[in-house]
Amino acid sequence: MSRISYQNGKLYLSLTRNECQEAYDNIGKPLELDISQLKVLHEDITKIVVEYWRDIEVPLEIKTYKGKNDA
């Protein structure tokens, strides 16, 4: 099953051996994923967005807000 993860500001895609082979055999073409994976991939993306906001966006907004109030 394909999975998407976020670590240290980077996105990672995990594929099964069969998915890797299909991607290799069809370089440059979209890789078809089983639609039954949609819920898991949605959960992965939701978790990534929350982690990204927490790690990047929120601190940036706080810094911007503090900078405006210091002026």
Amino acid identity at 3: R
Sign of the Cα pseudo-torsion (52, 56, 59, 60, in order): negative
Q: What is the pLDDT of residues 52-70, one digit of tens each?
A: 999 888 888 888 888 887 7
pLDDT over 90 for what percent of the chain?
A: 65
pLDDT at 70: 73
Residue 48 to residue 5: CA distance in whole angstroms: 7
Average pLDDT over the chain, rounded to whole? 91
pLDDT surpasses 80 at 21: yes
- Is pTM beyond 0.75 here? no
pLDDT at 44: 97
Q: What are the residues whose beta carbons fall under 8 Å from the beta carbon of 32, sequence distance 6 or more? A: 22
Structural domain spans, the chain: 3-70
pLDDT at 71: 62
